[in-house]
Amino acid sequence: MSMRSSPFVALDIPRPPIAHRIRNGISDTLNLTERDIKIWTRNPSLLFFIVIQPVMFVLLFRYVFGGAIMVSVPGGYVNYLMPGIIAQSAAFASFGTAIALARQTQRGVIDRFRSMPMARSAVLLGRLVADTLRLTITLLIILAVGYAVGFRFENGAGPAVLMVALGVVFGVAICTVSAYVGLAIRDEESVGSFGLIWLFPLTFVSAAFVPVASMPGWLQAFAKNQPVTIVIDEMRGLALGGPLAEHAWQSAAWLLAIFIVFVPLAVRAYRRPG
Amino acid sequence: MNDHYPAGRWDGPAIIVEGLQKSFGEVHALRGIDLVVERGSVLCVLGPNGAGKTTAVKVLTTLLEPDGGRALIEGRDVVRSAPAVREIIGLAGQSAAIQEELTGRENIEIMGRLHHLSKGESRRRAGELLELFDLVDAADRPAKGYSGGMTRRLDLAASLVGRPTVFFLDEPTTGLDPRSRIGMWGIIRELVADGATLLLTTQYLEEADELSDEIVVIDRGKVIAAGTGDNLKNRIGGDVVQFGVVDRTRLGDAAEVVRPLAEGEPTVEEETARVTIRVGSRGSDSLVQTVRALDGAGIHTEHLGIHRPSLDDVFLALTGHTPEDGTRPSRSRSRRGRRDGVVPDATTRQRT
Ligand SMILES: Nc1ncnc2c1ncn2[C@@H]1O[C@H](COP(=O)(O)OP(=O)(O)OP(=O)(O)O)[C@@H](O)[C@H]1O
Ligand SMILES: [Mg+2]
């Protein structure tokens, strides 16, 4: 298209000062957090999925499979199990993130936000803050159930708090991946049926429920080195005692890498029109 | 309103679109659209499915970047000054952007907060809008249980929290029953009475005619006609009066009787015993005259009525093809809904 001559010269509008934008960005993020939490509490099916399901896992592994799985940690299998269940539940909680964002994109809610004077990253950040709260509540409930069936922290209060914190940060990292999946696939049903299928091998082919050494050799190579196992090993170390340093920096590196890759991807997917 | 931009004054039209282009791969959704909307007026973009209406709205509301051309909203370029454009526009998209789990009130309040209104101001504004849109009774129920019409109204209400000066409605009445549609028209009229500039899209000529100061007809990404509703209708021959004749033997008489009222020749369909005349923009006057004339001649009629030209008629008149996905004039001139256009073979054979 050739340039048209038009008598109208567009206004030259400077961006508002950075401080102003940051202030608005924070307010947008918190408003969206509040909104997400409200929506979460009104979705009984999501609540069920995120809270009841892990509780069932605890009971199932503790009483059904537990007897057949040999581990050498203080306190026996239930102590081995709980960090694994917590990490797995944290990862699975990200289903809610992906599905909610896909649904909102599909229904035009995300496009509506994009047409409003809002910070571009606010939808994702608001979501992640809400996820942090959501995960903390979920993990504490699961821990309480764990306590009821015999789980005990063996390494003192400080590391116990760190373990929960690591579980939450890990869950939020997986949520950024899921947020990207939800915003990119944009179809609630697809996201629900195959968008998050990768979570199953990632959490089950790990040290979450059974020692990696019990798996066939070819599987061990993957199971031993993938991030879920590394994070779970670190969580076990924090909960039950044992060497921490090596897994600590590996966990930190993995989590950082996930954020560095997926936060920008998710923000970009948000900016693409629905 | 919360315009943070120390904008220069703008005295030009509220919306200026010049040579706007947008393609999705091979699909050229917009192929050089031009339009101008004066401040405080209503422009209706009329076009069939796939014409490019939604694409145009998305570009103007900063959701999509155009491939070529430019668009200014109150002088603000939709690409270069997108954040400044977002400060002053409101958008109700083709599908309602409502969060079902939240109540109507919460849906509006959160939009207010995201427009950087204070908590109190958001609450006040939500109350006002719920009242205006007749949603007070349902305000504190989750939006999940709302009817289609209520959902649309809520969506529109939510898009107005930030007191936009220019707003965009993409097919605001599609999917609504006739009563809700009329209700929506009333609401839209009230909004523009307050002096806002409005661009709305529709597939219905009648709606465009009812609501707009000016109509732009687009087809396959191009503007094919522009003007007022009357302009357009005159170009396509205006209204049409049609009736069936009970006693078939009097079909010829009926045509003779109404001939003086018609613009051009009356059309007589032997098969269905129906007579059609074009009456230009004289509308109901000619309807009354037709009834009198036929009554005077003692001819009994059935299904007598006046029809506004439909979008199909507009397209037929302007482009020589109906708006059914790329139908070529050479292949089929059939009207939408007619048997020969929709069902090939079997039924057609019976008719011919
Ligand atoms: N994101 C997209 N990717 C590919 N093609 C698209 C996309 N959006 C629109 N199109 C195509 O661009 C053309 C114009 O679509 P658009 O949605 O603007 O039409 P419309 O006039 O709004 O139609 P409708 O009345 O059905 O809403 C269509 O051929 C459509 O298939
Ligand atoms: Mg459309």
- pLDDT, tens digit, 9 for 90 and up, residues A18-66: 999 999 999 999 999 999 999 988 887 767 777 788 888 889 988 988 8
Q: Is B52 in the pocket of ligand 1 (CB under 6 A)?
A: yes
CATH number at B293 reads 3.30.70.100
Residues B282, B183: one domain? no
Residues B267, B206: one domain? no
Average pLDDT of A192-219?
89
In the predicted structure, residue B240 carries a pLDDT above the cut 90: no
In the predicted structure, residue B174 carries a pLDDT above the cut 90: no
Q: What is the pLDDT of residues B109-120, one digit of tens each?
A: 999 999 999 999
Residue B43 Cα to ligand 2 middle (Å)? 16
Residue B30 counted as domain residue: yes
Among B207, B233, B259, the domain boundary falls at B233
Average pLDDT of A151-178?
95
Which atom of ligand 1 lies nearest, measured to the CA of B94?
27
Residues B218, B177: one domain? yes
pLDDT value of residue A192: 84
Residue B323 counted as domain residue: no
Contact list, B36 vs chain A (CB under 8 Å): none
Q: Is B51 in the pocket of ligand 1 (CB under 6 A)?
A: yes
Contact criterion met (CB < 8 Å) for B91 and A112: yes
In the predicted structure, residue B103 carries a pLDDT above the cut 70: yes
User: A131-140, A260-269, B195-204, B319-328: which range is least confident on average?
Assistant: B319-328
Residue B315 Cα to ligand 1 middle (Å)? 19
Contact criterion met (CB < 8 Å) for B6 and A14: yes
Of the candidates A1, A38, A107, the beta carbon closest to that of B97 is on A107
In the predicted structure, residue B6 carries a pLDDT above the cut 50: no
In the predicted structure, residue B325 carries a pLDDT above the cut 70: no
| Site from B63, B110, B117, B170 to mutate, A interface, most A CB atoms within 10 angstroms | B63
Chain B: closest CA distance from residue A270 (Å): 11
User: A97-111, B180-194, B262-276: which range is least confident on average?
Assistant: B262-276
pLDDT value of residue B314: 65
Residues B179, B272: one domain? no
User: A70-79, A112-121, B98-107, B314-323: which range is least confident on average?
Assistant: B314-323
Residue B146 counted as domain residue: no
CATH number at B46 reads 3.40.50.300
In the predicted structure, residue B339 carries a pLDDT above the cut 70: no
Residues B197, B85: one domain? yes
Residues B224, B242: one domain? no
pLDDT value of residue B335: 36
Residue B270 counted as domain residue: yes
| Site from A5, A11, A33, A127 to mutate, B interface, most B CB atoms within 10 angstroms | A11
**Residues of chain B above pLDDT 70, percent:** 84
Q: Which domain holds residue B289?
A: 238-307
Residue B75 counted as domain residue: yes
Please give the residue of chain A at the shortest CA–CA distance from B78: A10
pLDDT band with cut points at 50, 70 and 90 for residue B340? very low
Residue B76 counted as domain residue: yes
Q: What is the pLDDT of residues B72-82, one digit of tens each?
A: 999 999 999 99
Q: Is B27 in the pocket of ligand 1 (CB under 6 A)?
A: yes
**Amino acid (one-letter) located at B212:** S
Which atom of ligand 1 lies nearest, measured to the CA of B30?
14
Chain A: closest CA distance from residue B8 (Å): 6
pLDDT value of residue B23: 95
Residues B228, B242: one domain? no
Q: Is B94 in the pocket of ligand 1 (CB under 6 A)?
A: yes
- The mean pLDDT of chain B is 83
Residue B84 counted as domain residue: yes
Residues B182, B244: one domain? no
Residues B40, B89: one domain? yes
pLDDT value of residue A24: 92
Which atom of ligand 1 lies nearest, measured to the CA of B218?
21
Residues B88, B176: one domain? yes
Residue B86 counted as domain residue: yes
- The mean pLDDT of chain A is 89
Contact criterion met (CB < 8 Å) for B91 and A115: yes
Residues B205, B243: one domain? no
Among B211, B233, B255, the domain boundary falls at B233
pLDDT band with cut points at 50, 70 and 90 for residue B319? low
Which atom of ligand 1 lies nearest, measured to the CA of B55?
18
Residues B56, B176: one domain? yes
Which residue's CA is the nearest one to ligand 1's atom 29? B50
Number of domains forming the structure of chain B? 2
